[in-house]
Structure 1
Amino acid sequence: METTSQVGAQAPPREGAAATEGAGATGSAGGVRPAVPARRTVDNFLMAPFPWYGLDGAFTGTRWLLQAGTSAEGVVEHGSIGHGDEPSLRAADTRDAAERDRFAVVVTVAASPVRRTADGTGVLEATSVSSAAWLAGSGLLAVTWPAQMDHTLRDDWLTQQTETAWVLADDLASDDWASLSLPVDGVPTPFHYRESEYGWVLAGSTREGVHLGAYGRGMSAYGLGFSVVKDIEEYA
């Protein structure tokens, strides 16, 4: 992964715990940490200095915003747009949840070089395809509740699985990832792709200077296409 060390680097945070709105802290793959997977307003999305991506026009279902993550200086660094059903973390009937949760979330990450912090005391890591893979993997975990697992056990499971997602994102050349070509603005683009019992994750880069991640379940990743969002306010 194209990163450098950072003063006071921390271990990857758990989704829904350490991550908060506006989170874009370093210490996770590619210098960003996952945002809480909850719906937000369009305000932060409008401030992004890079284009947002979503599924292309072949998808005709519901589209919705999640969260845009910002740096300590207030610069928008990444964000997510959902498509299809809004996933429920836990349902009384897991069979019903499996049938209902058909979604794909697209994560856009600004491509950033290594840079110093605003106060000059540290170095922020460069973002890369691994950043998108980390955010996508963490996002999938955040909306996953394994069957027959109580709250305490899920906390332990989430910690372990988040660490695993970090390791996987840091080594996209490993056998855990397959290659997949999908259209981005109509151009065939290579992606790293993997599946698990909880869903799928993929990550790649675009010609527009951003990295793309995506995760989902109930919808096949093989038939997806991505394109620039022309009017993000339509998603609000």
Structure 2
Amino acid sequence: METTSRLGVQGVGAAAQGMPADARRSVDGYLMAAFPWYGLDEAFSGPRWLMQVGAAADGTVEYGSTGHGEEPSLRVETDMDQQRFTVVVTIASRPVRDSADGTGVLEATSVSSAAWLAGSGLLSCTWPTRMERALRQDWLDQQTAIAWELADDLEGESWTALSLPVDGVPTDFHYRESEYGWVLAGSARDGVHIGAYGRGMSAYGLGFSVIKDITAYDTDG
């Protein structure tokens, strides 16, 4: 049985592991979504760019990400400590439902789903490129398992409460920091869950809002 969260990490991983930029950044998938997309609010004046959407087997768009700031790079010569970015993940609120092929059941999406997508997304753009190749996959497997466990325990001591505005309304989020950056997750009022992750930009001063025109996001990064 595949869960929505498991499907989500496949999408994030594909983007991190060489999916062509034009395939990842096409606005078409965003326009097919039946839910609103979220990004940083108007207080953020820096670059905005598209990442990728994730869809179910029947083509229904389930989630997607929008980037803000400097696009993270995994090139060896890039100093991750100098990177400044925030990625906002929007995931549709879904009940438990049958899979498109009728062979199983997809779990309901939740704030934990948003936390998982955000946590795995942070890993995908901050893993240590200078690590020996033989050790890299073991590290990714270990950290991915940890991210999954953390997302499944939002009331645990690894998370703290953080209130941030969503469309101007104070909203409670679960928040945690690590040596790689920060992750947060919560719910909006219009049937979606919001996750976010970043590095070099403080989460404490952020605000989120519905993106009025997704085509205004730069598809070239």
Following TM superposition, by how much is the alpha carbon of 1:147 offset from its aligned partner in structure 2, in angstroms?
Answer: 6.5
Query: Where do 1:70-85 residues align within 5 Å?
Result: 70-85=55-70
Give the letter for the 2:39 counterpart: G
SS at match of 2:140: helix
User: Do 1:32 and 1:127's aligned partners in 2 also have CA atoms closer than 8 Å?
Assistant: no
Identity across matched positions, percent? 68
Aligned position for 1:51: 36
For residue 89 of structure 1, what is the aligned residue in structure 2?
74
Q: Does 1:217 align with 2:199?
A: yes
- Give a deviation string over 1:89-118, Cα, whole Å, max 9, x none: 133253xx322x100000000000011123
Q: SS state of the match for residue 121, structure 1? A: coil
Opposite residue 205 of structure 1, the aligned amino acid is S
Q: What number of residue pairs does the alignment pair up?
A: 209
Aligned partners of 1:48 and 1:75 also within 8 Å: yes
Is the partner of 1:73 in helix, strand or coil? coil
CA–CA distance in structure 2, aligned partners of residues 156 and 27 of structure 1: 24
CA distance in 1, matches of 2:96, 2:73: 37
Q: 1:28: which partner in 2?
A: 5
**Cα offset, 1:126, TM superposition:** 0.3
| TM-score after normalising by structure 2 | 0.90
Q: Structure 1 residue 116 and structure 2 residue 98: aligned?
A: yes
Q: Does 1:135 align with 2:117?
A: yes
Amino acid of the residue matched to residue 110 of structure 1? Answer: A
User: More helix per residue: 1 or 2?
Assistant: 2
C-alpha RMSD over aligned residues: 1.6
Partner letter of residue 98 of structure 1? D
Q: Normalising by structure 1, report the TM-score.
A: 0.84
Where 1:215 maps in the other structure, the secondary structure is strand
1:200 CA displacement: 0.2
Task: Give 1:198's aligned residue.
Answer: 180
Shift of 1:27: 6.2
The unaligned stretches of length 5 or more in structure 1 are: 1-7, 10-25
Amino acid at match of 1:200: W
Which amino acid letter does the alignment assign opposite residue 77 of structure 1? E
What is the Cα deviation at residue 119 of structure 1?
3.4
Uncovered stretches (5+) of structure 2, i.e. residues with no partner: none
1:194–1:200 contact (8 Å) kept in structure 2: yes
The 3-state SS of whatever aligns with 1:214 is: strand
Partner secondary structure for residue 161 of structure 1: helix
Contact 2:57 2:101 in 1 (8 A): no
Counterpart residue identity of residue 28, structure 1? S
Name the CA distance, whole Å, in 2 between partners of 1:92 and 1:116. 45
Q: Is the 8 A contact 2:116 2:147 kept in 1?
A: yes
